[in-house]
Amino acid sequence: MKSVRDLDSPAVTVDLDIMEDNIRRLQAQTDSLGIANRPHIKTHKIPALGKLQMQAGAVGITCQKLGEVEVFAEAGVADDVLLTFNILGWTKTERLMALSRRLKRLAVVFDNEVVARGLSEAAKRAGVEVPFLVECDTGFGRNGVQTPEAAFDLARLAMRLPNLRFDGIMTFPNKEPTAAFFNRALELFRGAGIEVPVVSGGGTPATLTLGDFPMLTEHRAGTYLYNDAMMVHSRAATWAQCAMRVRATVVSRPTDTRAIVDAGTKVLTSDQYYVQGFGHVTEYPQAAVSGLSEEHGTLDLSRCAERPQVGDIVHIVPNHCCVVSNMVDTVYGVRGGRIEAAWKVAARGLVT
């Protein structure tokens, strides 16, 4: 199979020229700001793409799940990994220790004492030292300690536990309150004579304002690699910078204004967040992807002068590229209509 036309639909494709340009652009930005680029591989889950990011100058990678670390360690993508999820329970901490022995640096995050104590006990049993960052909620309202003082207190508590090493603080994503939160936290650590080697921010939309956060030593972006409708709506990318497209076939034209394609939530997912509809049809930008079932996508063609027929192929930029990666076993790298790569999504579906 050489031509993209030979792909059965639905299929997930990535425009290689666009993706390579996205990799170069973010690396140039972090280089110019003098901060480390630590891309989040949950966006692609493909070791070969992690290697491209490393070759472009990334200092290491970010993973969200132990399974992702295992796959990327096995593939030899990076020896410096940050795992940005509270790791809890015997099964998971044992897996973590096996990885800690294998990688040059595997840093973890936590936002509470229960997780810190579990990690310390596992690290002590394993005889390894685990570097940690304290996760801070700087306005997103998900994980993280709520105040700079709480970050300082948790760090001090964990520094007294065996086999843990304080490596810094982190947040997701960088938001307006992040600067004040981090500056106050750094003041507390400085006042206690504690060095903070790493101050880690995250998010692709946050690359728009990266220069406003001079306290950051590293940034973790994921989506920038492919980009998607959410990034366009947040002005972090243009449609021309969106590399991932779902190739779909029009299988029905029940009415003059409605088309049904063979890509539903099983490929595009239901993710919407702040975006209207469920994707952007590149051939018919006036079409709305107005609804999805598992295997059906409904296009509202009311505003389209030209309209597709049954059998026509369309390409849809998804709302959220990271979740689309998780829906398929294979992603195709395409350049000028030719398939250059068929990547196995090696870390797909690794929920633990």
On the CB side of 24, CA atoms within 13 Å amount to: 7
Q: Are strands 244-255 and 258-261 parallel, antiparallel or unpaired?
A: antiparallel
Shortest separation between residue 11's beta carbon and a copy of itself, angstroms: 8
Q: For residue 228, what are the CA distances in angstroms to 32, 182, 233, 234, 248?
A: 25, 29, 9, 10, 17
- Whichever of 27 and 343 has its CB closer to a copy of itself, that residue is 343
| Cβ neighbours for 95, distance < 8 A, ≥ 6 positions apart | 66, 70
Shortest separation between residue 113's beta carbon and a copy of itself, angstroms: 8
Shortest separation between residue 267's beta carbon and a copy of itself, angstroms: 6
Shortest separation between residue 216's beta carbon and a copy of itself, angstroms: 21
Residue 336 tokens read as 């000028």
- Whichever of 106 and 261 has its CB closer to a copy of itself, that residue is 261
Query: Is 233 within 8 Å of 213 (Cβ atoms)?
Result: no
Shortest separation between residue 34's beta carbon and a copy of itself, angstroms: 30
- Whichever of 200 and 223 has its CB closer to a copy of itself, that residue is 223
Shortest separation between residue 15's beta carbon and a copy of itself, angstroms: 20
- Whichever of 58 and 250 has its CB closer to a copy of itself, that residue is 250
Question: Beta partners for 137?
Answer: none
Query: Is 61 within 8 Å of 91 (Cβ atoms)?
Result: no
Phi, psi of 276 (to 5 degrees): -80, 135
Q: What Rg value do the Cα atoms of the chain yield, rounded?
A: 22
- Whichever of 37 and 93 has its CB closer to a copy of itself, that residue is 93
- Catalog residues that contact a copy of itself under the rule CB under 8 A: 8-10, 42, 64-65, 85-86, 88-89, 91-92, 111-112, 114-115, 137, 141-146, 249, 251-255, 258, 260, 262-263, 265-267, 269-272, 291, 293-296, 298, 309-311, 322-323, 326-329, 349, 351-352
CA-to-CA distance for 51 and 76, rounded, in angstroms?
9
Shortest separation between residue 160's beta carbon and a copy of itself, angstroms: 19
Shortest separation between residue 270's beta carbon and a copy of itself, angstroms: 4
- Whichever of 35 and 69 has its CB closer to a copy of itself, that residue is 69
What's the gap between Cα 142 and its chain centre? 16
| Cβ neighbours for 318, distance < 8 A, ≥ 6 positions apart | 228, 229, 244, 246, 268, 269, 271, 278, 279, 324
Give the DSSP H or E segment for 76.
none
- Whichever of 33 and 251 has its CB closer to a copy of itself, that residue is 251
- Whichever of 160 and 309 has its CB closer to a copy of itself, that residue is 309
Closest CA to 7 of 317, 337, 344: 337
Closest CA to 133 of 101, 161, 159, 160: 159
